[in-house]
Amino acid sequence: MKFSELAHEKSASLWLSSKNHPFIKGIEDGTLPLSAFKAYLIQDNYYVKNYLAIYDKILATSQDSQVIDALKSGIQAITAYDVDQQNGIYQGLNMTDDEIQQAEILPTTYHYTCHMHHAPGYI
């Protein structure tokens, strides 16, 4: 059995659980409350900002031109895909900067981003 087949087999129940999660089902069938989607977007915004901050930290300390170029390319890609896409969605949902900035950051989001900043191997 190939590794990919074994991994798929061993993780099938987890994959199915995530596929059948109420958030995903709500998006799929149109029953997800708008407030839940906005809350998700706000948490994702916080995550993406922190992810970019890690790129910036590594960029500030790197002396390797290949690493610097790769980081700059990554920052551009994340900005073009995530940040620009988020901004378009915020506009479409009439979400204001104040609403986004003043929202509560949930403990899971906060702890995950703290882990990214402090875990060995990230920076």
- Confidence category of residue 14, pLDDT binned at 50, 70, 90: very high
Same domain, 92 and 109: yes
Q: How many domains does the chain have?
A: 2
Residues 3, 24, single domain; the answer is yes
Q: Who's near 113: CB < 8 A, 6+ residues apart?
A: 46, 47, 50, 51
Same domain, 53 and 73: yes
In a domain, 123, yes or no: no
Please compute the mean of the pLDDT values over residues 37-53 and round it to a whole number.
Answer: 93
What's residue 82's pLDDT? 84
In 3D space, the residue among 50, 83, 55 whose CA is nearest the CA of residue 70 turns out to be: 55
pLDDT tens digits, 74-112: 999 998 888 888 889 999 999 998 999 899 999 999 999
What is the residue range of 7's domain?
1-32
pLDDT for residue 58 is more than 90: no
